[in-house]
């Protein structure tokens, strides 16, 4: 591992090469037209001229096309996680992408965004730093308000609706065939607004603006999805049975979700709502079920009992834009945070990653990642990313929820302010 090159975050972001500009239109215009995307402009954003920062939510590949349409294909630089560069680093570098490791404090990124603005272009940032697990807003970093204050340029936001229900993160095997989607494009802050507002006020307005709920949007807009396997993968998000409280025994069959312990069953209708086939429907709205699971995890943390236990795992390293298998080891997530250690100390210059709750406000997880291995957790340092594939009884959604709740629990214990929607 010491011989492997690391991702070069110091390289200045390029402006998209001239001959590649038509390529972006060829790639992104067809899906935009296919989904009959309707963009709603707010606050005069259609008259906004670069340079400005665009902050967007991100639930599917379609988001890129909507963003490019909104900025009228003006040269821009997407901030992209290192795994996005796998097998295509040359291309992404030359269309201007800026590499970053998820959930790390990256001072170079601040500089790169400034460089993009100075040449009159548009940096596009996804502040949630991951796909939503159930089509609702994830936590936003508190540092975003400071960043906005620092740049002193207009801030636009783009909130897409429908991309999660069309291609949910828990099952990206195919699109589910929605006939249209929508997006709200805002001029959220002018330069004058930013000068007058405090960081706290900026953050609060951003949280309010970033609200979205794809399942609510689907129901309200009567978006029909007749894809037969609607519950495929949903058992990974809704991992706890609300009837018998058993974890990790949820299974799916077609458009139905059932508990393999108590055998209660729920059916997802064509508008994204859940209905118990017998007895009470505890949660008809999928995000409500998800937030109930969060509440249960929070109670474990408050009682000091949360733990995954010590799990055997496979570890793959992503030092640059290529994976390397670095062996097996063990993984644990508990009240002390993350700990992962490799068995064979000769295979890596880093033999363990330890991260305390105060240092990790959120974590990225993957479902069926590179199918051969299954579900995994990304542990990031500035120098490397470990993709950890545990074995045994566990659920990455619960680990994700616990990471956020452990961070908030730490803040609460130490009397630090907790703002709704922010870490």
Domain ranges in the chain are 18-220, 234-302, 311-413
Whole-model pTM: value is: 0.94
User: How confident is residue 348, by pLDDT bands cut at 50, 70 and 90?
Assistant: low
| 3-state class (DSSP) for residue 250 | strand
What share of the chain has pLDDT > 90, as a percent? 79
Q: 401 preceded by cis ω (within 30°)? A: no
CA distance 283 to 107: 42
- Whether residue 166 is predicted with pLDDT greater than 90 in this model: the reply is yes
Percent residues over pLDDT 70 in the chain: 96
Structural contact between residues 348 and 370, judged by C-beta atoms closer than 8 angstroms: no
Instruction: Give the mean model confidence (pLDDT) for residues 381-398.
Output: 94
Q: Using the Cα atoms of residue 68, residue 73, residue 74 and residue 77 in order, give the sign of their dihedral.
A: positive
| pLDDT given at position 421 | 63
> What does the alpha-carbon distance between residue 90 and residue 107 come to, in Å, rounded to a whole number?
23
Averaged confidence pLDDT in the chain: 93
pLDDT value for 407:
95
> What per-residue confidence (pLDDT) applies to 420?
61
Mean pLDDT along residues 137-141: 91
Helices (H) and strands (E) in the chain, counts: 12, 18
Mean pLDDT of 240-248: 98
Q: Dmax over Cα atoms in the chain, in whole Å?
A: 62
**DSSP state letter for 131:** -
With residue 128 as reference, give the H or E element that holds it.
Answer: none
What pLDDT shows up at residue 27? Answer: 83
350 versus 361: which is more confidently predicted?
A: 361
- E-only strand ranges, 82-193: 98-100, 122-125, 155-161, 182-189
* pLDDT over 60 at 217, yes or no: yes
Q: Is the pLDDT at 173 greater than 90, yes or no?
A: no
Of 332, 333, 329, which Cα lies nearest the Cα of 347? 329
- Helices in 303-423 by DSSP H: which ranges? 396-413
Spatial CA neighbour of 80 closest among 112, 50, 51, 48: 112
pLDDT interval class at 32 (50, 70, 90): confident
Tell me if the domain spanning 311-413 has CATH number 2.60.40: no
Q: Which residues contact 192 (CB under 8 A, 6 or more apart)?
A: none
pLDDT at 28: 82
Quickly state the pLDDT bin for 144 (edges 50, 70, 90). Answer: very high
User: What's the average model confidence in pLDDT over 333-353?
Assistant: 84
| DSSP letter for each residue of 63-117 | HHHHHHHHTTT--EEEEEEGGGGTTTHHHHHHTT-EEE-TT---HHHHHHHHHHH
Contacts of 257 (CB under 8 A, 6+ apart): 231, 234, 235, 238, 250, 251, 265, 266, 267, 268, 274
């Amino acid at each position: 591992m010491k011989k492997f090159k690391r991702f070069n975050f110091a390289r200045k972001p390029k402006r998209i090469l001239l001959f590649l500009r038509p390529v972006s239109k060829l790639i992104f215009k067809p899906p935009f037209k296919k989904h009959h995307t309707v963009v709603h402009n707010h606050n005069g954003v259609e008259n906004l001229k670069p340079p400005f920062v665009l902050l967007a939510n991100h639930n599917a590949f379609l988001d890129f096309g909507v963003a490019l349409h909104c900025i009228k294909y003006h040269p821009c630089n997407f901030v992209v996680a290192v795994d996005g560069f796998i097998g295509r680093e040359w291309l992404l570098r030359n269309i201007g992408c800026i590499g970053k490791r998820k959930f790390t404090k990256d001072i170079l990124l601040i500089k790169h965004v400034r460089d993009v603005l100075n040449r009159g272009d548009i940096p596009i940032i996804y502040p949630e730093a991951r796909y939503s697990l159930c089509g609702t807003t994830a936590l936003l970093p508190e540092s975003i308000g400071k960043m906005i204050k620092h740049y002193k340029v207009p801030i636009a936001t783009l909130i897409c609706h429908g991309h999660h229900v069309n291609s949910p993160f828990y099952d990206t095997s195919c699109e589910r065939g929605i006939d249209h989607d929508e997006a709200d494009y805002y001029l959220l802050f002018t330069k004058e607004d930013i000068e007058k507002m405090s960081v706290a006020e900026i953050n609060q307005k951003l949280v309010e603006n970033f609200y979205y709920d794809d399942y609510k949007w689907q129901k309200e807009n009567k978006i029909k999805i007749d894809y037969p396997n609607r519950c495929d993968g949903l058992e990974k998000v809704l991992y706890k049975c609300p009837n018998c409280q058993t974890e990790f025994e949820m299974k799916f069959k077609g458009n139905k979700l059932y508990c393999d312990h108590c055998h209660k069953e729920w059916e997802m209708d064509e508008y994204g709502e859940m209905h118990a086939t017998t007895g009470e429907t505890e949660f008809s709205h999928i995000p409500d079920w998800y937030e109930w699971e969060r509440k249960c995890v929070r109670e474990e943390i408050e009682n000091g009992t949360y733990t995954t236990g010590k799990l055997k795992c496979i570890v793959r390293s992503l030092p640059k834009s290529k994976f390397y298998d670095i062996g097996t080891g063990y993984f644990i997530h508990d009240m002390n945070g993350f700990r992962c250690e490799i068995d064979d100390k000769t295979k890596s210059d880093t033999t363990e990653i330890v991260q305390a709750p105060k240092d990790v406000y959120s974590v990225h997880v993957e479902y069926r990642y590179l199918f051969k291995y299954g579900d995994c957790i990304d542990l990031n340092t500035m120098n490397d990313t470990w993709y950890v594939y545990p074995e045994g009884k566990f659920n990455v959604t619960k680990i994700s929820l616990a990471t956020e709740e452990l961070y908030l629990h730490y803040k609460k214990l130490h009397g630090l302010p907790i703002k709704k929607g922010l870490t």
